[in-house]
Amino acid sequence: MHGEYKVPGGKLVVVDVDVDVAAGVLQRTRVAGDFFLEPDEALDAVNHALDGAPLDTDAAGLAARIDAALPEGTVMYGLTSEGVGIAVRRALAHATDWTDYEWQLIHEGPQAPALHMALDEVLTAEVAAGRRSPTLRVWEWGAPAVIIGSFQSLRNEVDPEGAERHGIEVVRRISGGGAMFVEPGNTITYSLSVPEALVQGLSFQDSYAYLDDWVLGALGDMGITAWSQPLNDIATDQGKIAGAAQKRIVGPDGGPGAVLHHVTMAYDIDADKMLDVLRIGREKLSDKGTKSAKKRVDPLRRQTGLAREAVIGRMIGSFRLRYGLADGKVTDEELARAQELARTKFTSPEWTARVP
């Protein structure tokens, strides 16, 4: 069995492992990768520590076995014991890799907020059904909006008078997480609709960092040192720049499905308007380590010095260089289904206020 895991901010870990089915243990484990590890014998210690581990040992348990076996003074760079454990779990789960797929890009003109919500649901369901290849969709906003998480209280998150005053539409998405304040030209939003197999063997938390890793690389190429901040933020030393959310969609007949992972990045922001529309309490601000909402999100415009279109172009170029990316589009059938879903679900008071 073969498994790979790119340690967020680190290097690639590759594991090839056999199993003794009768004994229910790992055997003949071989760990490799482009990491740095000293001394040389530490690699043999890692392999021997994994051999004999019960097949149901989780990543943390595998990491503990490795840590206990490492020679004194071992130095790891671009590698962690838990990263090796995750690679083993992905091997046992028959996880796939980014390069196993033919990725498709969708980047179309501005669309209504409710239609974006519907497209996320429809396209991810198509990936789950095997009718669409894994897709990177870059959004263009047709109107300003507040997007609330699937489980958020509408009245607790949004000031209706502020939203009306600024012409802000409020829609609810299918994923969890917090509210997003977006304005055309000030926000960069993208979705990944990926087969569940891509994140097999990862915990829910680890899947966020794994699916965000490519964009951290893209930001790095633009001179921004960014990292994943659990559970679902992307941050720099100057503040939060993005937030992610996910939704799992079950495949046909309950089989393997797909994961929707979407990210909203702040390119520029009118913080006063945001505060006039969103009810951001002191407790929510304090858990981000800030006292002012204006400091919570540090726009990409200032950090990159690039136009929004240039940032998006570099992000797409980085993804294409890493994994390949063919230009695609929403099919007529997918669009028709999304338009119907936007009309019947995402603009309906029943859905938007389902958590009053």
Span 202-211, mean pLDDT?
93
Euclidean distance between CA atoms 245 and 177, whole angstroms? 6
pLDDT band at 97; cut points 50, 70, 90: very high
Quote the pLDDT of residue 152: 96
Quote the pLDDT of residue 51: 97
Phi, psi of 343 (to 5 degrees): -75, -45
**Residue spans of beta strands (DSSP E) within 135-207:** 135-138, 145-148, 169-172, 180-182, 187-195
Span 142-161, mean pLDDT?
96
pLDDT reading at 295 higher than 60: no
Quote the pLDDT of residue 292: 52
Quote the pLDDT of residue 283: 45
pLDDT band at 287; cut points 50, 70, 90: low
pLDDT reading at 79 higher than 90: yes
Q: Is 201 left (phi over 0), alpha (psi -120 to 50) or beta?
A: left
Instruction: Give strand pairing partners of 145.
Output: 169, 182
pLDDT band at 254; cut points 50, 70, 90: confident
| Tens-digit pLDDT profile for residues 51-68 | 999 999 999 999 999 999
Quote the pLDDT of residue 8: 79
Least confident of 105-114, 158-167, 172-181, 278-287: 278-287
3-class secondary-structure state, position 63: helix
Least confident of 33-42, 290-299, 310-319: 290-299
